[in-house]
Structure 1
Amino acid sequence: MKERILIIDGSSLFFRAFYALPLLKTKRGIYTNAIYGFIMMLENAIEKVNPSYVTVCFDMKGKTFRNELYEDYKGTRQTTPTELEQQWPIVRDILDKMNIKILESPIYEADDIAGTLSLIAEKEGFESILLTGDKDYFQLVDENTKVLLTRKGITEMDIISVESIEEEYNITPIEFIDLKGLMGDSSDNIPGVPGIGEKTGLKLIREFGTMENLYSNLDKITGKKLKENLENNKTQAFMSKKLGTIVRNVPLEVTIEDLKMKERNLSELSEMYREYEFNSLLERLPEEYHKADIEITSKALFEYEDRSIDELIKLIENEKSFAFKFITDGKIYESIKPTHIALKAYNNKPVIMEVNDNDILKLKPIFESSKIEKIGHNLKEDIIILMGYGIVIDKYTYDSKIAEYLLNSTDSNYDINNISNIYFNEGYKDLEELLGKGKKKVAFTDLDEVELKKYFAFFLNTVYKLKDIHLGKIAEQGMDELFYEVELPLIEVLSSMEFTGIRTRKSILDEIGFDLEDKLKELEKNIYLEAGEEFNINSPKKLGFILFEKLNYPVIKKTKTGYSTSAEVLEKLRGKGEIIDYVLEYRKLSKLKSTYVDGLKELVNDSTGRIHSHFNQTVTSTGRISSTEPNLQNIPIRTEEGRLIRKAFLASENSLLVDADYSQIELRVLASISKDKNMLKAFENDDDIHKRTAAEVFGVEFEEVTPLLRSRAKAVNFGIVYGISDYGLSQNLNIPRNVAGEYISNYLKHYEGIKNYMEEEVENARKKGYVETILKRRRYIPELNAKNYNIRAFGERVAFNTPIQGSAADIIKIAMVRVYRELKEKNYKSKLILQIHDELIVDAHEDETEEVKALMRRIMENAVKLEVKLKVDMEVGSSLYDTK
């Protein structure tokens, strides 16, 4: 067998990955979808073809020799989105760690470098495999050169050979150059011959072989218009052929031997994968690189002792301080009880013991004592267990997970082992290493007793070791109020919300499901009737055939595998035929049924009749709370069918749900921080802020603002808050990027105070290295010092939007703590059960509803003092549906 060289069309793959995957980004806010998709395709290709040599060819910015032939070559291409641009330097860095050489030229394109290299390889007796998503490479295929063509997304790849080209197209590979000359290429702005597409072009090449032969036999062309187009565009056709011809004599400064696959720098590569949260790529590395390097330096971390529970209680009462962790294999509200508890009295060795209900109740006095300090790591899970035993924890003063989150909000791993490694360069195992994962995961009860005790001794010893360091840093950074008055008490609030859950009735979900099934069946009938046949509606390929070949709808967009039937495409076809509306409705209702009806039913707790969502305090870098299993912050509200799902979420017996929603809190924060006079005035006058923005930005009278203009102004308002780019706004509104850019520009001209705030905040962040919220929540922004412009631009967006989003998060958390505390102190039966974005929802006993409404309004509207008064909208109902 010949040795193989894998030549990768880097630019083609990178763009493909960006558009094939959603805009993935890390907890730090770095976009990574193109990087991830590119590396996955590269790895899959290496696995598939097993090369001995490999290289990546990239296009460089600027004009090439083709622009000298045709000035407008690639002239219609839009500028690269900043979300993609900022990923280029990162992928190059990863390739460097892989020891894969990058080839590029200021004069020639990646295609030309790849073509030249494949020709050199052929002469030296190698087999070349060209990985690309571009059919232009078909012209290079011969007995020694094949194309590995990306077909769908980032996973499907087909080997293209001479035989497969002749079988599919009935032309030879070299004839693709002539086909390009006739067809042109809209993506590269190669004109070709007007009126000639792939079908006509192939027919002509099959008959005449080359363009030269075709033009020598124009008299044989029967179609009058076709002949006329060919005659009138001869010069253009041959120019197009030249533009589409891949050059194979590029001067290269490397030899094939320079591209031999080398050992990768696995240590640095694994660090990068962890930094950018590429867990699936990390798993492709040898097992020893799956986790960060950890050095064990202190045996004292693993020391523990055995004591009776009575001895331990006395010791804790004397020391007045202890760390603890319940050891359990499930949730207390699922009737799964802890099997062990780990306790460490201050200045003593940890004790890890088996426990039963009586043992835990024996500990009740020390947990409820206001004179004994309690500390831990991820205390929410422990407080939920205590609630299951009717134990009300008092005086917990430190949680190492929360402390580390405040000090480093952009990290993604707050495991005690990882934190120990960061501060002390010593550690042991994280939970995944201890218990395994997937099918191989074991329960705590399956662990060897020594292993179990060793792990939790390390756990509690590390909590105490971190405490003074963490609290010192929090004090230094001015976050005492945030830590002690907001984040720490919030742990108990979130524990209570998860433990209580929200009453959910499966029978209502069943009814909604049956109704959706009926609607889906009716839609199926209508779609089949319009199509004239039955087919798999969920198959993009079959749907594309029906719409664009059988029914002849105008083609909006083509992919490498055929016609695009994305939501964006179908929206552009809306109004051109009933089948389009039917398909869009079918997709919407299918998602509702699978994700929300069927998915939610599985999560209703059989013993409590409630859904107990997990509320996460350390996930977002802005300070926002997130919700998982299920995500109750993502229940649909935009459509009536979606809103019906909310009917299944009910108040408790003899209760009502009180839903208090902050009105435009982020915009009020923005007005207050920026002190923009126009926005302040709009809020003072209680104007419709989106309508007011529309009037100013679009230059119309306030009374003449249409719903469409208001909707677009709303997108711009919130887009500014979230640091949206012209590309992002254009995607949201389905408008051209230049129009989106004008919207943003006009907005900043009118709201000059906001523009000045953005510039000042960025400048201050560049000097200090971080930004802060109103409660001094800090976010570091190293991207501001990046050499790459686009990464710096990303850092600038983070710099001005984090104080807005983070301050709004601070305000909501303050309100949550105060509402929960007052309900608890006044011994109300009512409970705070949900936080959905800017809403707080209390399950209010019917006798207390009016008091709860007054309490919530008073607390929420006075949580902090801003330049603009906080405003709360309030609704009451027996279900979440009734409150919206």
Structure 2
Amino acid sequence: MTSKQKLVLIDGNSILYRAFFALPLLTNDKGVYTNAVFGFTKMLMRVLEEENPTHMLVAFDAGKTTFRHETYKEYKGGRQKTPPELSEQFLLVRELLDASSVVHYELEQYEADDIIGTLAKSATESGFNVQVISGDKDMLQLVSNDVHVHITRKGISEVDVYTPEFLKEKLELEPNQIIDMKALMGDSSDNIPGVPGVGEKTAIKLLKQFDTLENIYQHLDEVSGKKLKEKLTTHEESAFMSKKLVTINQNSPIEVNLDQAIYQGYDDNKLRTLFKNLGFKSLLNTVGNEADEGENSTERLSSMDLKIVENIDEITFTGNDALVVEMLEENYHKADILGLGLANEKGYYFVPTELAMNSDLFKQWLEDPKQKKLTFDSKKVMVSLLRHGIRVQGITFDLLLASYLINPAENSHDIPAISHRLGFEDLLFDEEVYGKGAKSHVPEQSQLADHVIRKAKALFQLKETAVAKLKENEQKSLLKDLELPLAIILGEMEATGVRVDQEQLNVMQVELKERLTTIEAEIYQLAGENFNINSPKQLGVILFEKLNLPVIKKTKTGYSTSADVLDKLEDKHPIITKILLYRQLGKLQSTYIEGLLKVIHKDNKIHTRFNQALTQTGRLSSIEPNLQNIPIRLEEGRKIRKAFIPSEKDWVILAFDYSQIELRVLAHIAKDEKLMTAFREDRDIHTQTAMDIFHVEADQVDDLMRRQAKAVNFGIVYGISDYGLSQNLKITRKEAQAFIDRYFESYPGVKNYMDDIVHQAKLEGYVKTLMNRRRYLPEITSRNFNQRSFAERTAMNTPIQGSAADIIKKAMIDLDHALKSEKQTARLLLQVHDELILEAPKDEVDKLKELVPKIMEETVELIVPLKVDSSEGQTWYDAK
């Protein structure tokens, strides 16, 4: 089958409609709507890459009237008019297909389905393999061994591929029965009547018994159920008319043939031009670099006076200079500096790395706090220059952080992307200059210098635009007083690093291997044979065929053995507990033990990177490695923290953890009297909630009640549904909803807050934290229930989680100031969500255990007290 020629047929109308409603409305800089075209384009590029077709065609509906209207005038009647925002995008899609060298076709009086059906028939008769892509399940009637139908499931990103076997698994029908199923159940979207009152389940049941529509009516007396028999009898004519309507015409008089649908690839330059016109910047890197023939990129960029500095004296510093430190690799702890760009009102300069790092004059300028510097990613600038012994000071602006605060939902915050968003387009994207992946390279100096200078120029010119937007959003202080000073502190933390006991990790690696071997043997014994535990296919056979455990879920390739499936089976057989443990320990071994050993630097430390401009809530995250996500539910996971030790002799690790900060923020925002009282009186909030939802006294609250109350408390913060809570607590949805209802009865202020914040988000389009951090929620008015529900939960949670993130950030700034003013040698090492990790000499511990909680608790004033717990030890493990 793989050696056959492959024809890909796309249902243009169906995919375009799905893309339009799946994506928020987007426009390019000319105000043209592009969301449907963007979604369609992403799908098209994915199909071209994955399917590698020899032949391809996109079919469109030709108009509102088809030959089916002769049978039934009301066919597709009642459909809502196509939104004008979508109508105008059909022409753009045809332009896209022309630029992609993909044939598109439509035929008067016929639909895209008929064109696709006719070509699919012709292709299979010629020995082709056919892939049909649509959002319309009517296409399933075309399924065969040679025709596979891809049906979009969620928007256009998730797809089910229907083969005869998969169709049988999903609907228990053969492909030729799809027509009869649709004839019975009708289709409201196309106004096909079918048999009123007969849905998919009933239609499938009838066809499994009688095979065809005709046979059903020949054996009506054998149909069980008086009402069903009456419906079928009354609407017999409607059923057969519906069958005629839903049947795809595979002999349509099309004037396009397979030879005309040959696909030989697209022209990179044509697509790049179109993507630029449409504003699809994120897709530019999918079509390769622009060809040099006829258009030299260096010449194209020669409109700027290129100044490659040979002597630092050539630079005129003004005390308000934009500085770009250019690196090709993301990990600035290791990456080489390719060069530095400067821009100010006097000129634009490129400084070669060697010249910059060896110039006392340049170093003095970098370290002078009075010389204001505008940067992009000030933390990266600081850490990369520290590696060269230069402590940069005087940073007063960071375009990365400004862009992130203006809209944290943007996918890309690099200088070219920000520049293009803000109307400064005199700048290529990095992929256009350096290439991508294995093909990435550093260009010759003049092209490199030109690119870096343009970045510096953009940074210099865009500062005022960004600051004006921050002022408009009341976020200028958020940048100046919170994110910018925090970036410097995080840079110091990253440069300091965390000392690791490599021998301890090696010991743990051996212990875990031995433990895994033991568990593996126990699993084999319970299974009665050896098999590959990491193979879902082999594991599925053992669990569901040999041990006959109940099948929870199936996938395209067999039985699902995902974690949620195994959780539901844990009480059915002891092998499940062993498998879950085996997986957990295996992940500890590969991801954490082996992962940490790979990233230890020569100084025996790990230097993580904190993402300050990633999460939409404002929380920090950590990468290479992620030290915020070391699993601690298992003792084996907690033990990993034993490897993290102080970097100096006679020092200790200290941990300071905000207690239930998000619930305290909720109490402050919601102003619920009972919640506020509980925190003011320092009650155990989970016990208090258990008392309220179970209607018992404190001494009657057992561990299970408190655990369930805790799940409700934190679930409420995240806008949890009855389904989500039922899954967490392994109870019924009815019981979960009763918990939630009783919670809101006990804390009416919280319920009012939840309702009010969702209403406010629908009016304003965003929510914000106590410090004015915004999160935009365009999906909150979506017609799609799932998207709207997610946005509503996000609206409830973001002000709470985001405010908690802002509070700990401010605490870090206050603490850094206090440590320096108090002349303490203690160092901040890590921030792990609500917790700060320090290392300090033993003789500073007593003072720190008094000083740090005080600072953290007083960093902001809430109407309920903040509370901080502290601990210490010889390792991070001991400190907890």
| Deviation digits for residues 455-512 of structure 1 (CA, Å, limit 9, x no counterpart) | 2221222222122232333234332332221111111101111111111122222211
Q: State the partner residue of 2:367.
A: 368
Contact kept in structure 1, 2:340 and 2:452, CA below 8 Å:
no
2:57 is aligned with 1:52: yes
Within the candidate set 517, 522, 529, 1:526 is matched to: 522
Would you say 1:686 and 2:682 are equivalent positions?
A: yes
Is the counterpart of residue 625 in structure 1 residue 630 in structure 2? Answer: no
TM-score of the pair, normalised by structure 1: 0.74
Cα distance per residue 1:227-278 (max 9 Å; x no partner): xxx99999999999x9999974226899786999999997999699999x9x
Residue 550 of structure 2 corresponds to which residue in structure 1?
Answer: 554
> Matches of residues 460-539 of structure 1 in structure 2 within 5 Å?
460-539=456-535
The reply to whether residue 348 of structure 1 matches residue 347 of structure 2 is: yes
Decide whether the 8 Å contact of 1:770 with 1:779 is kept in 2. Answer: yes
Alpha-carbon distance in 2 for matches of 1:578, 1:94: 57
CA shift for structure 1 position 647 = 1.3
Deviates more, 1:506-515 or 1:688-697: 688-697
Q: 1:732 to 1:326 in 2, by over 3 A?
A: same
Please state how far the C-alpha of 1:141 moved relative to its aligned partner.
5.4
Greater mean alpha carbon deviation, residues 741-750 or residues 873-882: 741-750
**Post-superposition CA distance 1:413-438 (Å, at most 9, x none):** 11111222222342312333322221
Counterpart of 1:572 in structure 2 is 568
- Report SS of the residue matched to 1:322: strand
**Partner residue, 1:438:** 437
CA distance in 1, matches of 2:241, 2:726: 34
**In structure 2, what is the Cα distance between the partners aligned to 1:142 and 1:266?**
34
Equivalent residue letter for 1:584:
L
Give SS of 2:657's match: strand
Aligned counterparts, 1:410-421, within 5 A: 410-421=409-420
3-state SS in 2 of match to 1:349 = strand
The 1-side partners of 2:241 and 2:54 are apart by 24
Q: Give 1:364 shift.
A: 3.7
User: C-alpha separation between the residues in 2 aligned to 1:92 and 1:522?
Assistant: 63
Shift of 1:538: 1.2
The answer to whether the 8 Å contact 1:324/1:343 transfers is yes
Please tell me whether the aligned partners of residues 624 and 806 of structure 1 are also in contact (alpha carbons under 8 angstroms): yes
Q: Which amino acid aligns with 1:514?
A: V
Q: In structure 2, do the counterparts of structure 1 residues 384 and 360 end up closer, same or farther at CA, with 3 Å as the change threshold?
A: farther
Contact 1:274-1:282 at 8 Å conserved across structures: no
Structure 1 Cα separation of the partners of residues 256 and 459 of structure 2: 49
Once residues 49 and 827 of structure 1 are traced to their aligned partners in structure 2, the CA distance between those partners, rounded to angstroms, is: 72
Higher relative contact order (CA 8 A, sep 6+): 1
Shift, 1:864, TM fit = 0.2
Q: Identify which range, 829-838 or 34-43, moves more after superposition.
A: 34-43
Question: Is residue 640 from structure 1 mapped to residue 643 from structure 2 by the alignment?
Answer: no
Indicate if the aligned counterparts of 1:328 and 1:338 stay in contact, CA closer than 8 A: yes
2:413 aligned counterpart, secondary structure = coil
Supply the distance in 1 between the matched residues of 2:471 and 2:175 (Cα, whole angstroms): 70
Q: Which of residues 772, 776, 787 is equivalent to 1:776?
A: 772
| Structure 1 pair 403–233 and aligned structure 2 pair: CA distance change class (3 A) | closer
Tell me the alpha carbon deviations over residues 286-335 of structure 1, each in whole angstroms, 9 at most, x when there is no partner.
7679xxxx9x99977554363622454xx43xx33333233456799967
**1:703 CA displacement:** 3.6
Pairing partner for 2:859 from 842, 855, 863 = 863
| Cα deviations by residue, 1:614-668 (Å, 9 ceiling, x for unpaired) | 1111111221111111111111111111111111121212211111111111111
Structure 1 782/525 Cα, relative in aligned 2: closer, same or farther at 3 Å?
Answer: closer
CA distance in 2 between partners of 1:816 and 1:251 (Å): 65
Cα 1:403–1:354 shift into 2, 3 Å: same
Give 1:362 deviation, angstroms. Answer: 4.2
Q: Contact 1:151/1:158 (CA < 8 Å) preserved in 2? A: no
Distance in 2 of aligned mates of 1:648 and 1:245: 73
Change over 3 Å in CA distance of 1:876–1:417 after alignment to 2: same
Structure 2 residue aligned with 1:543: 539
Q: Percent identity?
A: 37
Instruction: Determine the C-alpha separation between the residues in 1 that align with 2:40 and 2:717.
Output: 26
Q: State the AA in 2 paired with 1:372.
A: Q
* Cα 1:484/1:35, change in 2 over 3 Å: same
Aligned to 1:649: 644
Counterpart check, 1:429 vs 2:448: no
Query: Does the residue aligned with 2:775 lie in a helix, a strand or coil?
Result: strand
Partner residue, 1:453: 449
Kept in 2, the 8 Å contact 1:695–1:705? The answer is yes
Moved more, 778-787 or 565-574: 778-787
Asked if structure 1 preserves the Cα contact closer than 8 Å seen for 2:6 and 2:53, the reply is no
Choose from 595, 598, 609 the match for 1:614: 609
- Determine the structure 2 residue equivalent to 1:661: 657
Q: Tell me the equivalent position of 1:249.
A: 244
Task: State the alpha-carbon separation in 1 of the partners of residues 357 and 763 from structure 2.
Answer: 57
Equivalent pair of 1:323/1:376 in contact (CA under 8 Å) = yes
In structure 1, what is the equivalent of residue 100 of structure 2?
Answer: none
Q: Could you say what secondary structure the match of 1:881 adopts?
A: coil
Q: Secondary structure at the match of 1:632?
A: coil
Find the counterpart in structure 2 of residue 849 from structure 1: 845
1:109-140 per-position Cα deviation (integer Å, ceiling 9, x unaligned): xxxx9998887778999877566999999876
> Secondary structure of 2:358's partner?
helix
Residue 147 of structure 2 aligns to which amino acid in structure 1? K
* Alignment root-mean-square deviation, CA: 5.4
State how far apart, in whole Å, the 2-side matches of 1:149 and 1:586 are.
36
Structure 2 letter corresponding to 1:409: P
Following superposition, the deviation at residue 592 of structure 1 comes to: 1.2
Counterpart in the other structure of 1:673: 669
Distance 1:401 1:125, change over 3 A: closer
What TM-score do the two structures reach when normalised by structure 2? 0.74
Aligned to 1:757: 753
Q: Which stretch shows the higher mean deviation, 865-874 or 431-440?
A: 431-440
**Distance in 2, Cα, partners of 1:236 & 1:814:** 68
1:187-226 correspondence to structure 2 within 5 Å: 189-190=201-202
Aligned equivalent of 1:380: 379
SS in 2 for 1:355: helix
**Structure 1 residues 286, 392: CA separation in 2 closer, same or farther (over 3 Å shift)?**
closer
Q: Tell me how far apart the structure 2 counterparts of residues 796 and 518 of structure 1 sit (CA, whole Å).
A: 47
Unaligned runs of 5+ in 2: 23-34, 62-83, 96-110, 183-198, 292-296
Task: Name the CA shift for 1:772/1:232 in 2 (closer, same or farther; >3 Å).
Answer: closer
Q: State the Cα distance separating 1:878 from its structure 2 match.
A: 1.8
Q: CA deviation at 1:839?
A: 0.7
Residue number in structure 1 paired with 2:588? 592
Q: CA deviation at 1:610?
A: 0.9
1:807 aligns with 2:803: yes
The answer for the alignment partner of 1:146 in structure 2 is: 147
TM-aligned CA deviation for residue 174 of structure 1: 5.7
Question: Structure 1 residues 353 and 799, CA, compared in 2 at 3 Å: closer, same or farther?
Answer: same
State the partner residue of 2:108: none
Change (3 A) 1:624 1:272: farther
Structure 1 distance, partners of 2:382, 2:123, is: 69
Q: Distance in 2 between matches of 1:269 and 1:707?
A: 62
Contact 1:694 1:709 in 2 (8 A): yes
Q: Which whole-Å CA distance do the structure 2 matches of 1:349 and 1:414 have between them?
A: 22
Letter in 1 for 2:872: V
Q: How does 1:208-287 map onto structure 2 within 5 Å?
A: 248-250=243-245
Measured in 1, the distance between the counterparts of 2:690 and 2:151 equals: 44
Distance 1:307 1:287, change over 3 A: closer
Q: Aligned-pair distance for 1:693?
A: 2.3
Q: CA deviation at 1:819?
A: 1.3
* C-alpha contact 1:352 1:456 (8 A) present in aligned 2: no
One-letter amino acid matched to 1:480: K
